[in-house]
């Protein structure tokens, strides 16, 4: 059955007609052309498809598109500012070797961003817990955890920017 939904996508009010069985991943990639959100396993195992819905990290491959009606969705495309400046978490991944092949990176960065919105000063265990559902085949995770820690703590003031960014 076709259904019209309205939601905020990366800061833009968006109206789309969807089918009830579509996943959010299908809607984003196949219908809206937002290819930054990756499809890995398609079954909730790898985290490559992670996006934020109302500030919480979710697996878009398991999340029905109909469920984003009236909600706020942020994908990797929505993190950088309008002038192209990278989000602090993106910068930290680039600067600290958190990205190698990059396939896991959008999902990993979305999980990290959701964590830092909830907890601006995470301990290492908090970081590990937040990215437990995100599989990386390249980095060994050390650089990723380091990147997330530095995104939160690298400079005085960065923590506030990370937390506030999505609401600007």
The binding site for ligand FES (CB under 6 A) comprises 39-42, 44-49, 59, 61, 99-105, 136-139
**Least CB distance to ligand FES at residue 157 (A):** 28
Choose between 61 and 162: whose C-beta lies nearer to ligand FES: 61
Choose between 77 and 159: whose C-beta lies nearer to ligand FES: 77
CA dist 112 and 141 (Å) reads 13
Using DSSP, state whether 15 is helix, strand or coil: strand
- Specify the pairing of strand 2-9 against strand 72-74: parallel
Choose between 39 and 55: whose C-beta lies nearer to ligand FES: 39
Question: Half-sphere exposure of residue 57, counting CA atoms within 13 Å on the CB side?
Answer: 26
**Least CB distance to ligand FES at residue 143 (A):** 9
**Least CB distance to ligand FES at residue 99 (A):** 6
User: Which string of b and e fits 40-79 if b means at least 16 CB within 10 Å?
Assistant: beeeeebbbbbbbbeeebbbbbebbbbebeebbbbbbbbb
Choose between 53 and 136: whose C-beta lies nearer to ligand FES: 136
CA dist 9 and 12 (Å) reads 5
**Least CB distance to ligand FES at residue 147 (A):** 11
Choose between 120 and 135: whose C-beta lies nearer to ligand FES: 135
**Least CB distance to ligand FES at residue 83 (A):** 27
Q: What H or E segment, with its residue span, contains residue 153?
A: helix 142-153
DSSP state of 23: B
């Amino acid at each position: 059955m076709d259904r019209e939904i309205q939601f905020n996508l990366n800061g833009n009010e968006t109206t789309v007609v969807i089918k009830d069985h579509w996943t959010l991943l299908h809607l984003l990639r196949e219908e809206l052309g937002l290819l930054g959100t990756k499809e890995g396993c398609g079954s909730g195992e790898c985290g490559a498809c992670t996006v934020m819905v109302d500030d919480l990290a979710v697996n878009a491959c398991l999340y029905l598109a109909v469920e984003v009606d009236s909600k706020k969705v942020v994908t990797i495309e929505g993190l950088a500012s309008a002038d192209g400046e990278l989000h602090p978490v993106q910068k930290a991944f680039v600067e600290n070797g958190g990205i190698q092949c990059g396939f896991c990176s959008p999902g990993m960065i979305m999980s990290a961003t959701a964590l830092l919105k909830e907890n601006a000063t995470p301990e290492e265990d908090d970081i590990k817990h937040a990215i437990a559902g995100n599989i990386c085949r390249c980095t060994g995770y050390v650089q990723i955890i380091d990147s997330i820690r530095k995104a939160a703590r690298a400079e005085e003031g960065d923590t506030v920017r990370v937390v506030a960014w999505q609401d600007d």
